[in-house]
Amino acid sequence: MKQLEERIRHDGTVKPGNVLKVDAFLNHQCDVALFDAMGAEWARLFAGRQIDKILTIEASGIGIACLAARHFGDVPVVFAKKTQSINLDGDQYVSSIYSFTKQREYPVIVAKRFLHAGDHVLLIDDFLAKGNALHGLIDICQHAGAKVEGIGIAIEKGFQEGGRKLREEGYDLKSLAIVEGMDPETGEIRFAESE
Ligand code: 5GP
C-alpha cells in the first residue's frame, strides 16, 4: 500500500536491533484517516471471505482493528488482553507470547464469551516480525474452535521469519507494507512489492 509505505519513509525511524519506530502515526500518535484507508485496503484484499469478527492484541492493534471493522460490515472487534484483572471474569482462553520488543514472555487472554466455535475471524496487528504474537492469537482461535479466515498486518518485516512461516502454514496473510531491509546508519528503508 503506497500511502503507508510513503508514511513509513517520511515519519518512520530505524532503530538498532531491527526495530522500526512508527509511533508518529501508528502506535502512539494515531493517524485515523490513514487507519481508515488501511481498513479499506484490507477489505479489498479479503473480499469474498466470510469475516464475522476481528481479533487483535492490545494496545497497538485496537485502533487499526476498529477502523478496519467499519469496512467489514461493522463486525465486533475483540482484543486480547495482556494482563489479568478483576474485570476479566469468567472462563478465559490464555496463551503465552514471547515479545520481540520487550524481550520477555507475556500472556494473552480472551474471555470465552467473546470468541466462539464457528466464528470466522480476521486477525489484525500492527507488526509482524517473528510471528510470536500471531501464533498466540491463532492458538486462542484453535482452542475456541474459531476459524482464522485471514491475517491482516500493517507492517511486515520481511527479513524476519514470521511471514514465511505463517504462509507456509497455509494462512491467508496480507501485509500492507513489507519491509525488505532497513539500515540504522542511513535510515534507508526498502520495501517489497505489495499486492
Ligand atoms: P512478533 O511476535 O511477530 O515477533 O512481533 C510482533 C509484535 O512485536 C507486534 O505486535 C509489535 O508490537 C512488536 N514489534 C515487532 N517488531 C517491531 C518493530 O520493528 N517496531 C515496533 N514498533 N514494534 C515491533
Q: Where does the pLDDT of residue 84 fall: very low under 50, low under 70, confident under 90, or very high at 90 and above?
A: confident
Residue nearest to atom 12 of ligand 1 (CA): 127
> Is residue 91 within 8 Å of 148, Cβ to Cβ?
no
DSSP string, 9-45: HHH-EEETTTEEE-TTTTSSS--HHHHHHHHHHHHHH
Could you tell me which residues are beta bridge partners of residue 15? 19
pTM above 0.90, yes or no: yes
Residue nearest to atom 4 of ligand 1 (CA): 130
**What's the mean pLDDT in 110-133?**
97
- Residue 157 to residues 28, 102, 175, 181, 192, Cα–Cα distance (Å): 19, 17, 9, 8, 10
Q: Determine the distance from the C-alpha atom of residue 41 to the mean position of all C-alpha atoms in its chain, rounded to a whole number.
A: 14
CA proximity to 128, closest of 91, 171, 178: 178
- With the most atoms of ligand 1 within 8 angstroms of its CB, the residue from 22, 108, 127, 164 to mutate is 127
Residue 43's φ and ψ, nearest 5 degrees, are -60, -40
Q: How do residues 145-181 score in pLDDT, each as one tens digit?
A: 999 999 999 999 999 999 999 999 999 999 999 999 9
Question: 2-191 architecture in CATH?
Answer: 3-Layer(aba) Sandwich (3.40)
Q: How do residues 119-130 score in pLDDT, each as one tens digit?
A: 999 999 999 999
State if residue 127 touches ligand 1 by the CB under 6 angstroms criterion: yes
Enclosing H/E stretch for 121? strand 120-128
Residue 165 marked as a ligand binder: no
